[in-house]
Amino acid sequence: MNVDFGNALASEAVTGVSEGSLERLDDRVRRAHDRIESGIGDREFGYASLALPEDTDPGAIRSALEGFDPEAVLTVGIGGSALGAETITAALGRSEHYSLDNVDPERTRELLEKLPLESTLLNVVSRSGTTAETLANFLVVRKAMAEAGVEWTDRTVVTTGDSGPLRALADEHDLPVCPVPDGVPGRFSALSAVGLVPAAALGCDIEALLAGGAVGQAALAPSLFECPAYAYGAVAYALETRGATTNAFVPYAEALEPLAEWFAQLWAESLGKDGLGQTPVRALGATDQHSQLQLYRAGRKDKLVTLLRPREREDEPIPETDIESLSYLGGSTLGGLLDAEFEATEASLAAAGQANVRLEVDRLDAESVGRLLYELEAACVLVGELAGVEAFTQPAVEWGKRAARGLLGGGDFEEATAVEEKTVRRVE
Amino acid sequence: MNVDFGNALASEAVTGVSEGSLERLDDRVRRAHDRIESGIGDREFGYASLALPEDTDPGAIRSALEGFDPEAVLTVGIGGSALGAETITAALGRSEHYSLDNVDPERTRELLEKLPLESTLLNVVSRSGTTAETLANFLVVRKAMAEAGVEWTDRTVVTTGDSGPLRALADEHDLPVCPVPDGVPGRFSALSAVGLVPAAALGCDIEALLAGGAVGQAALAPSLFECPAYAYGAVAYALETRGATTNAFVPYAEALEPLAEWFAQLWAESLGKDGLGQTPVRALGATDQHSQLQLYRAGRKDKLVTLLRPREREDEPIPETDIESLSYLGGSTLGGLLDAEFEATEASLAAAGQANVRLEVDRLDAESVGRLLYELEAACVLVGELAGVEAFTQPAVEWGKRAARGLLGGGDFEEATAVEEKTVRRVE
Q: Where are the domains of chain B?
A: 2-37+211-387, 50-204, 397-428
Q: A with B: how many residue pairs have Cβ under 8 Å apart?
A: 465
The distance of B390 to chain A (nearest Cα, Å) reads 12
Answer yes or no: A269 catalytic. yes
Q: What's the distance, CA A395 to chain centroid? A: 20
Contact check, Cβ <8 Å, B404/A104: no
Q: Nearest-CA residue of chain A relative to B335?
A: A105
**Chain A contact probe: residue of B145, B348, B393, B402 with most A CBs at under 10 A:** B348
Strands A120-126 and B156-160, by their bridges, are: unpaired
Q: How far is CA B392 from CA A74, B54, B56, in A?
A: 43, 20, 19
Which class in CATH covers the domain with range B2-37+211-387? alpha beta
Any idea how long chain A is?
428
Q: What is the pLDDT, as a whole number, of residue B310?
A: 98
User: Does residue A280 surpass a pLDDT of 90?
Assistant: yes
Instruction: Using the CB atoms, write b or e for B226-251: b if 16+ within 10 Å.
Output: ebbbbbbbbbbbbbbebebbbbbbbb
pLDDT attached to residue B212? 98
Q: Give the best residue of B158, B169, B252, B294 to mutate against chain A (max A CB count within 10 A).
A: B294
Q: Is B298's CB within 8 Å of A273's CB?
A: yes
Tell me which chain B residues have a C-beta less than 8 angstroms from the C-beta of A250. none
**Which DSSP symbol is given to A331?**
T
- Is 90 exceeded by the pLDDT of residue B258? yes
Tell me whether residues B269 and A294 touch, CB distance under 8 A.
Answer: yes
Rounded (10°) CA dihedral A305, A308, A311, A314: -130
Half-sphere exposure of B115 (CA within 13 A, CB side): 29
Reported as a pLDDT band with limits 50, 70 and 90, residue B392 is very high
- Chain centroid to CA A141: 25
**What are B250's strand-pairing partners?**
B307
pLDDT digits (tens, 9 = 90+) for A286-300: 999 999 999 999 999
Contact A336, B133 (CB under 8 A): no
Q: Chain-wide mean pLDDT for chain A?
A: 96
Tell me which of A240, A269, A346, A377 is the catalytic residue.
A269
Nearest chain A Cα distance for residue B388, angstroms: 14
Q: How far is CA B9 from CA A315, A362, A423, A426, B344, in A?
A: 52, 50, 9, 12, 19
Q: Closest CB to B323: pick one of A165, A275, A415.
A: A165
Q: Nearest to residue A423, comparing CAs of B123, B17, B256, B322? A: B17
How does residue B43 score in pLDDT terms, banded at 50, 70 and 90?
A: very high
Q: Do A418 and B351 touch (CB under 8 A)?
A: yes
Res B327: pLDDT:
85
With 90 as the cut, is the pLDDT of residue B328 above it? Answer: no
Task: Tell me how far CA of residue B110 lies from CA of A316, B104, B135, B151, in angstroms.
Answer: 11, 10, 18, 21
pTM above threshold 0.95: yes
- Rounded-to-integer distance, Cα A360 and Cα B272, Å: 28
Q: Please report the pLDDT score of residue A328 as a whole number.
A: 87
Check if CATH label 3.40.50.10490 holds for domain B50-204.
Answer: yes
ipTM: 0.97
DSSP conformation class of B165: H
Q: Write the pLDDT tens digit of every residue in B335-360.
A: 999 999 999 999 999 999 999 999 99
Are B350 and A93 within 8 A, CB to CB?
A: no
Measured in angstroms, the CA of B346 and the nearest CA of chain A are apart by 8
Q: Is 90 exceeded by the pLDDT of residue A330?
A: no
CB contact under 8 A, B281 and A279: yes
- Tell me the per-residue pLDDT of A115-150, one tens digit each, with 9 for 90 and over: 999 999 999 999 999 999 999 999 999 999 999 999
Inspect the interface and report whether the beta carbons of A292 and B268 lie closer than 8 Å: yes
Length of chain B: 428
- Residue B323 clears pLDDT 90, i.e. is over it: no
Chain A residues lying within 8 Å of B332, measured CB to CB: 136, 408-409
Q: What are phi and psi of A336, to 5 degrees?
A: -65, -40
Q: Which CATH architecture has domain A2-37+212-387?
A: 3-Layer(aba) Sandwich (3.40)
Helix runs in A202-333, H state only: 206-218, 228-241, 257-271, 293-298
pLDDT range class, residue A325, cuts 50, 70, 90 = confident
- Identify the DSSP state of A181: P
Express each pLDDT in B93-125 by its tens digit: 999 999 999 999 999 999 999 999 999 999 999
Question: Looking at the partner chain, which of A187, A231, A298 has a beta carbon nearest the beta carbon of B273?
Answer: A298
Asked about A114 being catalytic, the answer comes back as no
Tell me, yes or no, if B401 is annotated catalytic.
yes
Share of chain B above pLDDT 90, in %: 96
